[in-house]
Chain A
């Protein structure tokens, strides 16, 4: 049983690292990017600064969208566990199937 446990626990660690550390890091990238262009030393709004701001906002938008998708996935997991289903990725996109 102990080996069985170790097999499972590695998977938990792996998935958690990807989602639980990965998504907050993406969120942090978003926060960092949204601050691009706001740290100009002399405060002058040159074209270069504005370009950095646009780039920053775009990157931040993508990051936050990824995080929102991750939260959506989390909600789907909660929904599934409440309904006795599990999420299946067999067809690429997540679908609900009854728990085996």
Chain B
């Protein structure tokens, strides 16, 4: 096996690793409220979400080859890699992609450790932007589109990030308020029973949409690497094994369940009951589907979080924990730059030892060390399917997951 092929194998494995973190980071987006209200048992909910993510990933037949074009210029508009980067089996491009993926994974794990729902797409784009700046220069980043369409970092990432939680919160607030008006004469039992299926249905729709949208990104990145290496030439199809492995990786991640994040979403922002869960998930599903139909992709995480917040605002007398919401907002704003920083740093380190296979191996070693440390840190206060729904305010139950200095 040649050094270049080994590098490619590393890129593919790390990309699938990113897909896996993408899965568990976002389980909460579709299932946090369903779990918090007890509409489904935690394990059942994550299993359902995993299956729907798997199905969703296979539904994405469209070829998302140009996924990186939104933010960086490492490919041409037809999907082929930039010819300046393809010499020597694409090793320059592979290193940029690898460093970008490392940035995305490290940031995903960091926010997971603190129980913060942050956007996996922002983490991936951030990592790629950082690695591109380090590898090609500032000119390699696609900051804005032309005046005819929304594109680039500003149009496709930053503006939607500001708008999507606000829109989702408004829709969910209106929905929650109206639902409470309509059903206030009914007892708690009737409401919880009646809205159980509403929650399950809307949560399932979210999980399916998530699988369709997010698995595509990793599929695109892997296929781009294969083309750069020279082992794939078809621009109108994705290799079947790439599709299958990406679908399985995101489904496995979803099934593992990012319990720390699920807890923040389901218990931390506001106390949720079934009616709010239905309103929140219904609003989130509608915002995501409407926006992707109108041509711009919103982050499922931002939309889901905004919706849950809105369901707290719309319920008469409910209490929203603004401290938790504020900490999440901070995490969103720094996700892109922080992942970019890690991506750029990773590329510099890999480049300092001469790039190529040695650089790639060093990058992967650093990733493993960082992931291992964070996993070990998480075991000190583990959050699992058993304690995910414990009272948020009760310090004896679990330490607040987003407190970085909790001893």
What residues of chain A have their CB less than 8 Å away from a CB belonging to chain B?
1-2, 4-5, 8-9, 11-13, 15-17, 19-21, 23-25, 27-29, 31-32, 34-35, 39, 71, 74-75, 77-84, 86-87
Residue numbers in A under 8 Å from B294 (CB-CB): 8, 11-12, 15
**What are 26 A-to-B residue pairs whose CB atoms are below 8 Å?**
A4-B149, A5-B150, A5-B155, A5-B163, A8-B295, A16-B167, A16-B283, A19-B289, A19-B290, A20-B171, A20-B282, A21-B178, A21-B286, A24-B175, A24-B279, A28-B179, A29-B182, A32-B183, A32-B185, A71-B205, A74-B286, A75-B208, A77-B293, A78-B56, A78-B208, A83-B61
Whether A13 pairs with B170 at a CB distance below 8 angstroms is yes
Instruction: A31-B183, A82-B56, A84-B61 given; name 9 further pairs at CB < 8 Å.
Output: A8-B296, A12-B291, A17-B171, A21-B171, A24-B175, A24-B278, A31-B186, A78-B56, A78-B205
Whether B179 pairs with A23 at a CB distance below 8 angstroms is no
Interface of B is mostly: helix
User: Across the two chains, which residue of chain A brings its CB closest to B146?
Assistant: A1
**Nearest CB of B to A4, in Å:** 6
Taken together as a complex, chains A and B put the C-alpha atoms of A21 and B159 apart, in Å, by 23
CB of B382 within 8 Å of the partner chain: no
Task: Tally inter-chain residue pairs, CB-CB below 8 A.
Answer: 151
Taken together as a complex, chains A and B put the C-alpha atoms of A93 and B183 apart, in Å, by 33
- Contacting A at CB under 8 A, from B126-156, are 144-145, 147, 149-150, 154-155
Taken together as a complex, chains A and B put the C-alpha atoms of A12 and B293 apart, in Å, by 9
Taken together as a complex, chains A and B put the C-alpha atoms of A94 and B292 apart, in Å, by 17
Residue numbers in B under 8 Å from A11 (CB-CB): 290, 294
Q: Contact size class for B?
A: 35 or more
User: Across the two chains, which residue of chain A brings its CB closest to B144?
Assistant: A1
Residue numbers in B under 8 Å from A23 (CB-CB): 282, 286
Whether B283 pairs with A24 at a CB distance below 8 angstroms is yes
Option from A1, A5, A28, A78 in Cβ contact (under 8 Å) with B59: A78
Whether B284 pairs with A28 at a CB distance below 8 angstroms is no
User: Across the two chains, which residue of chain A brings its CB closest to B282?
Assistant: A24
* In the complex, the 6 A-B pairs of residues with the closest C-beta atoms, listed nearest first: A20-B286, A84-B62, A31-B194, A21-B175, A82-B59, A20-B283
Taken together as a complex, chains A and B put the C-alpha atoms of A74 and B56 apart, in Å, by 13
